[in-house]
Structure 1
C-alpha cells in the first residue's frame, strides 16, 4: 500500500493495524446494542462482526432470562424469557463441588456465588470452609474468590463488573452488625463494607461506616459506572464506590408504599421503582450529585396495569427487573386459583403502555430474580 493510501486509511480507521482476533475480543466486551452500532464503523468491522467464526464470541442477545432461588438452602433455577439463548449448564455443575452453592448476585453476564464446604464452620471466623465464586455461564469459566473472616456472617454480597471497561470484577461484602458487636444479629444493619478486586487479587480492609446502612432484605444492589447502589430503608439510596466511600441520595417518598423501593440499571442509567398500595412509580436518576436528581418516568395504577385481573384474588408481587437495552420492565403478579397461589411473569413496555404475559413461574421459584445477559467473551480475569 502506498504511503499516502496508508495515511488516509489510518485517518479513517485508526484500528487498521490491530489484528482481527484482538479487535473481535475488544468488541466482544461491549453491550449488544453497542455491538450493532460497531457494524457501522467500517466495512472491516461489519465483516468481522458478521463472520460466522466470530458470532460465538460476540453478544447475540440482551436479556436472556433470570436466575432465581428455588429453596431456602440456596438451590437455584433458570427461567428463559427470550427463547433465543440459555446457558448450556444452568445448574452450574461445571463449578467446583460444594456442600451447598448459593447465587448471590449477577452483573453483566457474570454470577457471584457462595460455596460452603461444610454445613457449619468450626468457628464463625474460619474462612477456609467457604468460597466466593464468580463465573460466566456462557463460557463456563470461573474464578474462586477467597472468603474473609466475616463471610459466614454475611447475608448480602454484590458483584461489580463492566466488560466495556475491563475484564476485572469487584465483590462487595456487606458486613452486618454482628461481625463487629458479636452479640446480636441484625440482617439489615450494615456496619462495614469489604471490597475484593480481581485485578489486585486481595480484599481491602473493611471500611467501618460512620452510620450503619439499613438495607432492605433481598432488595439487592446494582453496579453502574464504578459505583454500587443499595436501597436503604430511610428513604434514600446508598452509594458505595470502589474505595469504600459511602454517600446517601434521597429518594421520592410515598405515604402508602407497603414495601421498599428497588433500583435497576437500564440503558446506562439508574432507575428506581416505588410500589405504592395502589400504584407503581418509576423514576430515573438524572444527576447523582444534585439533591433533586430524580425524574418521574412512569406513574400507573395497578388497576390500569392489569385491568379486571387486578381485582382477582392475589396480590401485586412487584417489579423484578428492567430490560438493559429497552424501555421495558418485568413484573410478577400473583393469583389465587382453587386454593393455591399462581405467579405469572409479565413485561410492560413503557413507551406503548402494553402489558405482555410471558410465562407462569415455577411454584418453587422465589426472590431474588437475577437478570442474565450472556457474555460470550472468553476473558475472565485469571479464570479456570
Structure 2
C-alpha cells in the first residue's frame, strides 16, 4: 500500500473573479462575442483544484469553502476528501452510571456541541467482542482494546478507521491484559503504517519485588508493534537512571515519528518507534504550585508541542498557562498565554475542578471540561474568548475509577485516505 507523500507548499493563487472591466467591441467588429469568463482558477478541473488546496494550511482551506458553491461541493465530494485536510470532528468519551446496564457507555460529541454525533460511538462495524475500550486516537485511526467472549482475560488490539469503517487486528502480547497504558502512533504524511506502544510496569513485567523501585507504576519495558513488520519488539528501561511512571489516561502525542507522554513528577517522556527512550523533558511550572497538583497533558497544535499548566492558589492568582516547547535538547519552554480562572469560569466556580482535554490541531484554541455537569467549552487564545458548547452531564465522570483518575476525552479528526488499518 503506497504511503502518502509529503506535499510541497503551493504558490499563491488568486481566488474570485476578475473585476477588470471588459473592453467593449466596436459595432461591426469581426471578433466573435464570448460569454463572461471567470478567473484562471475557474478553468482548472476539480482534480487539479483539489490537489492545489490540499497543499495549503488547514486554516486557509476553511476560507476556500466560502469562495463558491463549486468549492464548497469540492470539499464534501468523497473522491476529494481523501486529499483535503479534515477539521477536528469531536470527542469520544465514556460515562458511568450505576443505575443502568451496562454501567459504562461510550459517547461522541461534535466539536460544535450541536447536532447528532458525526461518528457512531459504538463502532458497530467492528467484529463482535465482549467489550471494546478506545485507548487512543492518532490522525484519524483509533486504537481499541477488544475483550473476547471466549475468555474475559484475553484480548485483541484493533486499529480502525471510523471514516472508512476498516480495521486490522493487532495480536496481544503476554502483558497486554494487564497493561494500563497503550498508545498509537500514525503520521499519514510520512507513512501509511502505524505503530502501537505498550508501557509495561515493573510488576507486570515480572520483576522481583526486591528489584522494583520505590515508584508505584514505574515503567520497566516498552513494547512496540509496527504494521509494516507485523511483529512486537521490546526495550527494557534502565532501572537506575530512567525512573518514570505514566498516568493511565496520559494523552499520547505522536509527531515527527516520536511518541510523547506526560509522566508523573512534572516531566514529558519521549520514545522512538522502536521503544527507545529519547528525552525526559521537565515541564514548566510557575509558583505557587503543590506537589499533589494533577498531571497536565501535552498536546500538538500547529506543528508544535504544547503544555497546559494549572497554577493553583488560594488567592485570585490561580490561572491556566499555555506553553510551547522550543528546544528538545535543552527542554526549553516558552510561555504562550496565561488566562485567569476568574476569566475562564466566573466568580462562582471552584478553580480546581477542570481539565484541558485538547488543543485544536490547526489554530490557537483549547477545549476544557469543567464543573459537576462536565461542561464543555472552547477558549480562543487570540481573541481571549470563551464559548459554551454543551453540558455532557454528571455520568461522564468515571466514578468506578480512583479519585485521581481523569475522564478520558479522545479528540477525533477523520481520515479518508488509505492506511495500513484498511487491511493488507
User: Given that residues 283 and 294 in structure 1 are in contact (C-alpha distance below 8 angstroms), is that contact kept between their aligned partners in structure 2?
Assistant: yes
- Report the Cα offset of residue 36 of structure 1: 3.2
- Secondary structure, counterpart of 1:213 in structure 2: coil
- Per-residue CA deviations over 1:258-312 (Å, capped at 9, x if unaligned) read 2112101111111011112121111001121223x1000112220122223436x
Match of 1:148 in 2: 173
- Aligned pairs, number: 345
The answer to whether structure 1 residue 319 and structure 2 residue 350 are counterparts is no
- Report the Cα offset of residue 23 of structure 1: 8.8
- Secondary structure, counterpart of 1:112 in structure 2: strand
Distance in 2 (alpha carbons) for counterparts of 1:96 and 1:288: 41
Answer with 364-373 or 250-259: which moved more: 250-259
Match of 2:336 in 1: 297
- Listed as ranges, the gaps of 5+ residues in structure 1 are 1-11, 13-19, 40-45, 123-128, 335-340
Distance in 2 (alpha carbons) for counterparts of 1:379 and 1:24: 24
Answer with 164-173 or 75-84: which moved more: 75-84
Match of 2:368 in 1: 331
User: Given that residues 31 and 164 in structure 1 are in contact (C-alpha distance below 8 angstroms), is that contact kept between their aligned partners in structure 2?
Assistant: no
Match of 2:108 in 1: 78
- Per-residue CA deviations over 1:330-354 (Å, capped at 9, x if unaligned) read 01120xxxxxx31211100001000
Distance in 2 (alpha carbons) for counterparts of 1:289 and 1:300: 28
- Report the Cα offset of residue 189 of structure 1: 1.7
Distance in 2 (alpha carbons) for counterparts of 1:112 and 1:23: 34
What RMSD, in angstroms, separates the aligned Cα atoms of the two structures? 3.4
Distance in 2 (alpha carbons) for counterparts of 1:196 and 1:243: 8
- Secondary structure, counterpart of 1:234 in structure 2: coil
- Report the Cα offset of residue 179 of structure 1: 1.9
Match of 2:325 in 1: 285
- Secondary structure, counterpart of 1:286 in structure 2: strand
User: Given that residues 343 and 361 in structure 1 are in contact (C-alpha distance below 8 angstroms), is that contact kept between their aligned partners in structure 2?
Assistant: yes
Give 2:121's match in structure 1, choosing from 90, 94, 104: 90
Change (3 A) 1:183 1:80: farther
- Report the Cα offset of residue 379 of structure 1: 3.5
The answer to whether structure 1 residue 308 and structure 2 residue 337 are counterparts is no
Distance in 2 (alpha carbons) for counterparts of 1:345 and 1:260: 20
- Report the Cα offset of residue 54 of structure 1: 2.2
Change (3 A) 1:51 1:104: closer
- Listed as ranges, the gaps of 5+ residues in structure 2 are 1-10, 12-44, 65-70, 98-102, 313-317, 398-406
The answer to whether structure 1 residue 230 and structure 2 residue 265 are counterparts is no
Equivalent residue runs for 1:38-57 within 5 Å = 52=77, 54-57=79-82
- Secondary structure, counterpart of 2:343 in structure 1: helix
The answer to whether structure 1 residue 376 and structure 2 residue 416 are counterparts is yes
TM-score by length of 2: 0.72
The answer to whether structure 1 residue 188 and structure 2 residue 214 are counterparts is no
Distance in 1 (alpha carbons) for counterparts of 2:232 and 2:59: 32
Give 1:268's match in structure 2, choosing from 300, 303, 309: 303
Equivalent residue runs for 1:125-140 within 5 Å = 129-140=154-165
- Report the Cα offset of residue 64 of structure 1: 0.7
- Report the Cα offset of residue 363 of structure 1: 3.0
Match of 1:15 in 2: none
Distance in 1 (alpha carbons) for counterparts of 2:80 and 2:111: 21
Change (3 A) 1:354 1:22: closer
- Secondary structure, counterpart of 2:349 in structure 1: helix
The answer to whether structure 1 residue 63 and structure 2 residue 88 are counterparts is yes
- Report the Cα offset of residue 89 of structure 1: 2.8
Structure with the greater alpha carbon radius of gyration: 2
Distance in 2 (alpha carbons) for counterparts of 1:63 and 1:207: 36
- Per-residue CA deviations over 1:229-257 (Å, capped at 9, x if unaligned) read 11122222111111222121122234425
TM-score by length of 1: 0.79
User: Given that residues 59 and 363 in structure 2 are in contact (C-alpha distance below 8 angstroms), is that contact kept between their aligned partners in structure 1?
Assistant: no
- Report the Cα offset of residue 147 of structure 1: 0.3
Distance in 1 (alpha carbons) for counterparts of 2:201 and 2:359: 28
User: Given that residues 132 and 145 in structure 1 are in contact (C-alpha distance below 8 angstroms), is that contact kept between their aligned partners in structure 2?
Assistant: yes
Match of 2:249 in 1: 218
